[in-house]
Amino acid sequence: MNGLMKFSMICMLFSLAFAASVPKNDVCSGCETVVETIKYYAEQNYTKQEIKVVVEEACSMLGPGYSQICTFVSDYGVDMVLKLLAKMEPHEVCVKIWMCSEKLDNGKCSLCKFVVDQIMNYVESGHTEEEVKKFITMLCNKAGTKYAPVCTNLLDMGWDELIQYLKTLTAGELCEYITLC
């Protein structure tokens, strides 16, 4: 691997490990995250072997919410996921391999719960409001277009209101409130 590719992989692994530990029993979000990662690196013209290395490294660092998709990729290979991605979007791939239900909300509700859960975990671990603001901004800036609807709706409500809701509502309730569920 060349230096730029190694740096890119390290950045991806850090952002996944830091911001994307999947909530318990949210296999669908974990699947979508890994499949999106495979899609991203395929679009960057990485070889199948290079993508496999990235996914294996990510899977070794991520929590149990990723175990099913990591096992699938390990057992069936990146090639299988790439073949499915050639015909469908990441959510559809995850439905096809039985890791998401067929109910398609364009992933907004499950994605919202996933992002809000990450933010709530950060809040609950004793960080200051300023640190939480920086975390949300970093998460939204690094996450790309997939998280745009969630980030936009969360940030539109204003920091004070958002921080209060993060402390008092569940992820599902907050996502309902911002009309993504």
What is the full per-residue pLDDT of the chain (181 aa) written as tens digits?
554 444 444 444 434 443 344 443 467 777 888 898 899 899 999 999 999 888 888 777 776 667 778 887 877 788 888 998 999 888 888 888 877 776 555 567 777 777 787 788 788 888 888 888 888 777 776 655 666 677 777 777 777 888 788 888 888 888 888 777 7
126 sits in the region (left: phi over 0; alpha: psi -120 to 50; else beta) called left
Indicate the CATH number for domain 108-177: 1.10.225
pTM over 0.85: no
Q: Would 3-96 and 108-177 be classified into the same CATH topology?
A: yes
3-state helix, strand, coil in the chain (%, to 5): 75, 0, 25
Residue ranges of domains in the chain: 3-96, 108-177
Residues 6 or more apart in contact with residue 15 via CB below 8 angstroms: 142, 143
CATH 1.10.225: does it fit domain 3-96? yes
State both tokens at 135: 């975390």
